Amino acid sequence: MSVDFAMQRLGIESYVTDDHDLIRSADRVIFPGVGEAGTTMKYLKNHKLDQLIRDLRQPVLGICLGLQLMCSHSEEGDTECLGIFGEKVKKFIPWKDHNTNFKVPHMGWNNISGLQDGIFSRDLENQFVYFVHSFYAATGEHTVAACDYLVPFSAALRKENFYATQFHPEKSGRVGAQILKNFIEL
Amino acid sequence: MLAKRIIPCLDIRDGKTVKGIKFVDIREVGDPVELGAAYALQGADELVFLDITASHEGRKTFVQLVKRIALHLNIPFTVGGGISEPGDIEALLSAGADKVSINSAAIGNPELIDRMAMNFGSQFVVVAIDALEENGKWTAYINGGRIPTDKELFTWAKEAENRGAGEILFTSMNHDGTKNGFACSAIAKLSDMLSIPVIASGGAGTMEHFKDVFTTGKADAGLAASIFHYNEISIPQLKAYLHAEGISVRI
């Protein structure tokens, strides 16, 4: 819903759908997600969307749970995921000392760094974006933006035509709008 | 580094903002969508829209409004006020609200928190608590702070967390409207004992108050209404000050 609104703000025609033909023929595919990894993977498999997503050749953008499901495995429900990225998804363990209480979920605005080309432009280095998540993809060979909360983790991943952000570009103000625009203009 | 959040709160009645809000460059002062967009541009990290409409027709208006807000706003927002039915919650979330806050309804029926967390996920559930301190004891109140309950602030907040709340929005009735600063010691105690974020509300009057609530108060977010609406403190000015004081904010 929110992603659909964000596309409207950019003047882009978009559809929320699970229709295979519509997805295959789209110029761009966005794979957002809110929910639990196991349940959502089951849904994808039941609707034969798992193989469909892996086979897409146009630019694809996973968001939040979308990113996690594009990884190889998630600790959430011990779920085998799509395996587009080799990275693994782990759970944040809350931690506190006298000064700091690292709460879970990681909720709010945090800065992203080590940005690589693609959906990121150089002026976005160290800018703040909006996160809400309890699981994270470890940093790995496909990491194209990093963030630090409890541990360094992948704020964004990329492999060939597959892009994914752990944060919510549709809720990340001007910076997020720029990232979505960059994705549309790839 | 995770930033401390600054959250303006807007009261809505029949689809319009209630207070005479002093803002320049706004065509219709009463339009929550335009005001929200103006706050987003100024650097607000999140917004809260509180529906103070009583009537059933007004509720429908509010859902329509939430749709318009979601379409135009590119930062997260929470909606609250008089929400008691799971149907209301579903309508607001599918209209595009990022979070729904419940207060009296959660006290009257704590299982509502479990049900919301189960159906939608904890990140959508904000439990708002209005509490008054008397003789060293914090009591939660309902119906806009009019009726005391048998719930004690800290035990109730912990229960809400255990039931699946994703955030606690705590308003100190002793501090609300005074502009003498936040209830920092109670907020720090809440923040220490919970592993979910705490939004502090009530008492903001100066920029120092925000510094205090983020340092000694250990709050994750600070909420205020009138000081922003009347432009007594502007958000860019507040964030520049907090940044200079060494507090992580999104600039």
**How much is the average pLDDT of B71-97?**
91
- Tell me the pLDDT band of B27, cut-offs 50, 70 and 90: very low
Lookup: tokens for B24:
């320049």
Q: At residue B49, does pLDDT exceed 60?
A: yes
**How much is the average pLDDT of B84-111?**
92
Scanning every residue of chain B, which has its alpha carbon at the shortest distance from the alpha carbon of A147? B1
Query: What per-residue confidence (pLDDT) applies to B23?
Result: 45
CB of A176 within 8 Å of a chain B CB? The answer is yes
DSSP A94-128: PEE-SS-EE-SSEEEEEE-BS--TTT--GGGTT-E
Q: Active-site residue B11, yes or no?
A: yes
Query: What per-residue confidence (pLDDT) applies to B144?
Result: 83
Domain ranges for chain A, please list them. 2-184
Q: Active-site residue B130, yes or no?
A: yes
The secondary structure of residue A83, as a DSSP letter, is -
Q: At residue B29, does pLDDT exceed 60?
A: no
Cβ distance of B166 and A105 shorter than 8 Å = yes
- Average pLDDT per 10 consecutive residues for chain A, totaling 186 residues: 92 95 98 87 96 98 97 96 97 85 93 96 95 95 97 97 98 97 97
Query: What per-residue confidence (pLDDT) applies to B82?
Result: 82
Lookup: tokens for A175:
């910076």
Residue of A6, A57, A51, A5 whose CA lies nearest to A27:
A57
Q: Classify domain A2-184 by CATH number.
A: 3.40.50.880
Q: Is B190 helix (H, G, I), strand (E, B) or coil?
A: helix
Which residues does chain A have within 8 Å of residue B69's beta carbon, measured at their own beta carbons? none
Which residues does chain B have within 8 Å of residue A171's beta carbon, measured at their own beta carbons? 74-76, 98
Q: What percent of chain B has pLDDT over 90?
A: 73
Burial B128-156 (b: 16+ CB within 10 A, else e): bbbbbbeeeebbbbbeeeeeebebebbeb
CB of B190 within 8 Å of a chain A CB? The answer is no
Contact status, residue B75 vs residue A171, Cβ threshold 8 Å: yes
**How much is the average pLDDT of B171-185?**
94
Shortest distance, CA A127 to any CA of chain B (angstroms): 8
CATH class entry, domain B5-244: alpha beta
ipTM of the complex: 0.92
Q: At residue B21, does pLDDT exceed 70?
A: no
Residue of B17, B33, B77, B18 whose CA lies nearest to B223:
B77
Residue B218 CA: distances (Å) to CA of A95, A98, A140, B89 = 15, 11, 33, 30
Cβ within 8 Å of residue B211, ≥6 positions away: B241, B242, B245, B247
Q: Is A160 helix (H, G, I), strand (E, B) or coil?
A: coil
CB of B145 within 8 Å of a chain A CB? The answer is no
Query: What per-residue confidence (pLDDT) applies to A120?
Result: 96
Query: What per-residue confidence (pLDDT) applies to A97?
Result: 81
Residue of A155, A89, A98, A102 whose CA lies nearest to A127:
A155
Domain ranges for chain B, please list them. 5-244
The reported pTM is: 0.94
Q: At residue B181, does pLDDT exceed 50?
A: yes
- Tell me the pLDDT band of B13, cut-offs 50, 70 and 90: confident
CB of B161 within 8 Å of a chain A CB? The answer is no
Burial A17-33 (b: 16+ CB within 10 A, else e): eeeeeebeebebbbbbb
- Tell me the pLDDT band of B19, cut-offs 50, 70 and 90: low
CA distance B97 to B126: 12
CA distance B5 to B51: 22
Q: Give the bridge partners for A162, in sequence order.
A: A60, A159
**How much is the average pLDDT of B163-179?**
94
**How much is the average pLDDT of B197-202?**
96
Q: At residue B26, does pLDDT exceed 50?
A: no
Lookup: tokens for B184:
């920092």
